[in-house]
Structure formats: structure tokens, C-alpha cells
Amino acid sequence: MERKVKYNYEFKLRCINEVLKKHSSISHVKSKYCIQESLLKKWLIYYKKYGKESLKPRPKTTRYAGDFKLRLVLSIKDNSQTLTGACLNYNIPSVSTLMNWVHKYDTFGASVLYEQTLGRPMNKDFKRAKKKSDRPLTREEELLKENEALRCENALLKKFNALVQEKKLQQQKKPKL
């Protein structure tokens, strides 16, 4: 399953061509297409550095090596690089990715950057519903199933009757004005 892309490749290219080739201002293109100025600037910077390929949608998940993550986090922590500068230099699509790495490094240490887990952790306690078989039920299984349904219906009716009786008692206890 491919991730949803808000702005397609052709649209991004059209905006950048208007700025670079038609010499329109960024604010004019921004207002014309109703996009954020910072987003348009980001597209321009990536286009100038990496070309047309930087405007194409990226794969849903990109795995980075632990050494690469650690090197980047340390360079950010030493104030030798900003988050946006590191994103641009290493072609990382989002600043939030780096912010996550820095937060994990600060909270759990360097070893967590080497873990390659993606997505939500699996719930071990989850129990799957039993698969229904294609074979027809035997007469005994049909009777057991019908018996269970009747028990459920009976229990439901008993609860309903109890609620009705309780309401009648409450109405009788209320003083009439």
C-alpha cells in the first residue's frame, strides 16, 4: 500500500517551474495555488540540490542504518548542523524524523537508534476468532447452536422484564402532585 501524497509530482514541478523559469515570486505562486510558503521553499531547495527526483513521492518506509542515525544525531547535538540543514544534506524528507531520533537518543541512549522496528508492536494477547469451516453442521451441532441462541434470547428477555418492573416500582414510589 502506497502512502497518500497531498501534492503530486506534476503539481510540484509546475510550481517550481513558475518560480524558476517564469520568474514568478514565491508569494505569487503560493497564493495562486494556496500552498504554504515554507513548503514551496522546501521544494525549491530540494529541487536545486537533488533535481527532479527529489519531488517524486518517496517510498512509505525508508530504513536508515544505526551508524548513520547516530552520526547525524551527534552532529546535531554538537551544534555543527541544524535539523533542516541535516535533512537537506542527507536527503531526509522530514525534520520530524530527525527530531524522533534525537528524542530517542536523549531518552534511551544510542543503542535504540540501532533497532530496526517499524510500526506498532504486536499484541501478544490478541486471540483470533475461530475460522468457520465449509463443512455443514451435524444435527447435534445445529441443536447446540440453536440452544445457545435461545439461552441468549431468554437472558435478554429476563433483563428487559427486570428493567420494566423496576421502572413500574419507581413510578409507584413517586408522589403524585
Those residues whose C-beta lies under 8 Å from the C-beta of residue 83, and which sit 6 or more positions away, are 76, 95, 98, 99
Residue 119 corresponds to which amino acid?
G
**Residue 13 CB coordination number (10 Å):** 15
Looking at per-residue confidence, does 53 or 74 come out higher? 74
Looking at per-residue confidence, does 55 or 40 come out higher? 40
Question: What pLDDT, on a 0 to 100 scale, did the predictor assign at position 90?
Answer: 85
Q: Can you give the residue ranges of every domain in the chain?
A: 1-59
Question: What pLDDT, on a 0 to 100 scale, did the predictor assign at position 79?
Answer: 81
Question: What pLDDT, on a 0 to 100 scale, did the predictor assign at position 156?
Answer: 96
